[in-house]
Structure 1
Amino acid sequence: MIGKGKSISHTLASMNYGWNQEKQAEVIFKEHLAGDTPGEITEEFRIIQSQNERCKNNTLSFVLSPTIKDGQDLSGKKLYEITSRFIKEMNLQNHQSIGFVHRDKQHLHIHLYTNRIALNGELYKDSFIGKRSQAAADKVAQQMKMSRAREVQQEKLAQLKHLRKEVQHIHEKVLQTKPKSLDEYMKKMKEQQVKVLPSINKANQLQGFRFEYKGFNLKGSQIHRSMSSNKIILALSQNNKYTRLKEAPQNIKVLDHTVQLSTGIINKIAKDIIKQTIRRALDTGMGAGF
């Protein structure tokens, strides 16, 4: 389970979001509160918060996200227990709190709003609230034998490693077909369920590519060094020539529009061309010596 936390000032807007029926919201936790609407709860918060008018970010907002698998088995009673244990770990028992579960997505999650001002008027310190929220959520997950954040991260990394290899393999297969343009390359990648997203800045300069595959969105260089922008453009440019490329291209067509290449990409392509030239010269020289 992953936990996130921060201090906010927009209490009513957050209450309305938590209560959003489009997200199949359901109140699963309420402490030191009597109201039944976002407005009533916000007013109850405000009465306590009036004891410390200097505090602007006077509400704590938390999100507790069990894994999809864990979330499928969580009853209202279990959701209450998760939230109650989290409140205890954060030492917020003496504060007004309300928690909602959102079930509009496959990934069930809890939104918890807590008054930063305690019932006795004491201000709750919010330093390192994000890290403390994660530590508390992890402890609750351990207590309730749920998947912990570290396990979730390891599982995600393993999945990501596998997906990177898949995308790299698809990229290599597409390049073997000798696409002569970026549009042709993008079309062939899309046929293999990989969406190529060019990154073009306001100056109409191509700065790189991202790849979408099975819900993941990664830079080409994050997948494999052979999928960096300069490598892809160099390969496509050479496919379009009868002789070896001697200088870096300055522009390229994307979706039938010509865009400039960024200085960084041009310089990297130029270096790649020099390296290829030196390598060919060395290979030729070695061959002549035997």
Structure 2
Amino acid sequence: MNSHPPPYQSPHTPATYPPPSHTRQNTQQQRSKKRRRFLPTAKGFLSFLYHTSFYLFILIIAALLVGSAWSIGEQAWRNGGQRKWNIFVMVAAYVALGIISVLHVWSRVLSIKRILRTMPKPYIPTKRVDLPKNVAKHIATEYSRTAVIAHISQATTGQQEGWGRPGTKWEDKHFRTYILSTIPIMRQSLAPTSTASPLSLQPLLDASSSMNDNGAIRLFVNSYAKIIERARYGRKEPSQADAEAVEKVVEVVLLTLEVKRRREKDKHRTSIP
């Protein structure tokens, strides 16, 4: 038997082995990334100057103004004869400078507010003009990925009951609404002078029965009335076949009535000597 303990093991502790090589490599890479993150770079230095230059120049201008005011005031105080006049001129000049500065700052504030008001409220800065290059690129990538996911998730082959299938002429059409919307067209074609209720189908049946066409229009109107009744009172949603049947019935009735009117006009013309 081997009496020696394994590496990194004492006689009173469980066996421990050195970490795998890939774990050590990952740890070293993380440490190197952290070191690089805190190392000063030219880009970071320029960014620091960009963000601090405004306040830096304000401090420089304030120091120059205070220094010049102190030196001018000291020089004016030393002149005995014109001491009061020099001090008055100096104070008036600095007061005018302060007023002009305040007016300039206020005009800038108003112009910025006016520009912000002209911008649309739902505007979201996502372009490179408004954001850093990396941020704008990340937003564009995520937007493209979201658009692809939304496009893939759209229904292409499925169909909701009572609605037209996407990609067909019945897309975004509700069959029940479409079927019931054909009643005024049929009433205007078959019984335009009827005084019955707009929801009543009896004028259509009476008008189709009074036609001399061997009962062809009557058959179409009967089938049309059955589909209308199912669309009105049926619990089940109408199908695409019902909508297509109603469409065909309306087309046949309109064409038949148009042909009949033309024949009557031709007969009337030929009967006139």
Fold shared, TM-score > 0.5 on shorter chain: no
Larger relative contact order (C-alpha < 8 A, sep ≥ 6)? 1
Larger relative strand fraction: 1
Q: Normalization by structure 2: what TM-score?
A: 0.23
Instruction: Say which one has the larger Rg.
Output: 2
Q: TM-score, normalised by structure 1?
A: 0.22
Higher helix share goes to which structure?
A: 2
